[in-house]
Structure 1
Amino acid sequence: MRRLKSLLSRPNGLIGGTMIGLVLLAALTGVIYTPYDPEGTDFMLRFAPASAEHLFGTDMFGRDQLSRILAGASVSVTISVLTVLLAASGGVVIGALCGFIQGTFDRLVMMVIEALMAFPGILLALSLMVVIGPNKYGVVLALSLAYLPSVTRLIRGAVLSVREKEYVEASIALGNGPVYTLARHILPNCIAPLIVLCTTMFGWVLLAESALSFLGLGVPPPAPTWGNMLAEARAHLMRDPWLGILPGLCVSVALVGVNLFGDALRDELDPRDTFVKREPK
């Protein structure tokens, strides 16, 4: 609780946390309640302006924009959270084993990881989506595989550093098994950089998911996501620019919030930064 207060006392932590909170609130609201059916059409209300009945107006099919923004938030956030969890879980296991076992196993696995990292994440995800096909869980799988190498390299490097500490050698000398030593003494000391990376990765995944949906390789219409809402709005921007401004603004708010909060979290969890702040003048 004290660390949370310290994090929110930073301007970037407070602003970023507020933005992320708004995005998560919109996602939660989209799961529980939307004013109208996000996929329901009414051609008599095409391009209706903002009003008391439709706060954000309607789109080219007469669908309520606010309902689609909220539903799109729930889809985008769900995909981002599942992707981060899957990539982090796989990356932690593979990276920890590589850093602890080393030897031939480490070299072979890191050859594959380096090969995957030669491709940009979004390009690798695009290639996988062509094979898997556009669907929600296909997006999660493709993006997880695309961002798993980043987690693997981070955890491997952290494990290689921590395993040389005296308390790890003491644990082995006391007769503790490698699994116990890895889980009890090494991995807990790799949590801080992992948290920072996962926070930043949430923004990467949300942007990548929006890009895939924009290109028609994400969640297929009529299910709303911020990306396919932007794609549908392209042909009607001159008539109703808000069709593109609203989902684009949502993506921007989410990304700015994640970046600001990630910077504050990195500063808060960096022990060197803490030492500098406590050093007497």
Structure 2
Amino acid sequence: MKNIQDLISHIRTAISNIYEKPEADALAMQVAEHVLQLTRLQLSTERQTPVNEQTWLSVEKIISRLQQHEPLQYVLGTAHFYGLELKVSPAVLIPRPETEELVDIIIKENIAGHNLQVLDICTGSGCIPIALSAHLKAQAVYGLDISEPALAVAQHNALKYQQPVKWLQQDILAGPLNLPPRSFDIIVSNPPYVLQQEKRLMRANVIDFEPHLALFVPNEDALQFYEQIAIQALTLLKPTGILYFEINENKAASLTLMLQEMGYKTIKILKDMFGKDRFIRATINSI
């Protein structure tokens, strides 16, 4: 009977024409971890353990979907984010490592706060508000999105981790939010920011499977979400509140100028792990 080592080698070979070797190796290990319910260490120490036919059949189905460029997270139905294992579906973006960095920044800057009020706009899977709710001393955390299917995924994730996030369905571009003024300590958003013209630079597993509603903005109006969110944040933030954005690396300068013209203070551009301008934080007062 074929063993775990054979299984991992088979997966790697089957997807090697789609993914470069390092990524194929990583995906093969992730699939094996999932179907065998073993840790990475266990896979290494139990490589000679036989694998039954039913497991092989399950793996073949996964391989077939990966060969169609479907992201592994959608195939498995889960994605890892800031220590959480979250449900994902084609209704939501797959959480990115850069967004984990944004969450980490917010937690470190606000860990001493108490009774915090937090609002995440364009929440998708709910990864940001759920992680913030789990790590900050928050009185209330809200997640807002236009998509009902996305909010259903977010609600599932919050229930799994027993985080009392409040979900709001609204189009942020459609007008003012029905929320009390001067009520939030933190407003955060990772809105759509990929330009339509950048589609040609993106891989098939993103273009063909992830929701375009959550990805793309018109070339001629790249800052439309940031503008509307920033306008409303001027009213919704407490005097000591902070606005956080994840951004398109090529729009840091124009977004900074826009925030300055709106009257925001202490605007800071922060880089991601790759050295790209990926985040902006700003306040409505000089603090």
Asked if Structure 1 and Structure 2 have the same fold, meaning a TM-score greater than 0.5 normalized by the shorter chain, the answer is no
TM-score normalised by L of structure 2: 0.25
| Bigger radius of gyration among the two | 1
TM-score normalised by L of structure 1: 0.25
Structure having the higher strand fraction is 2
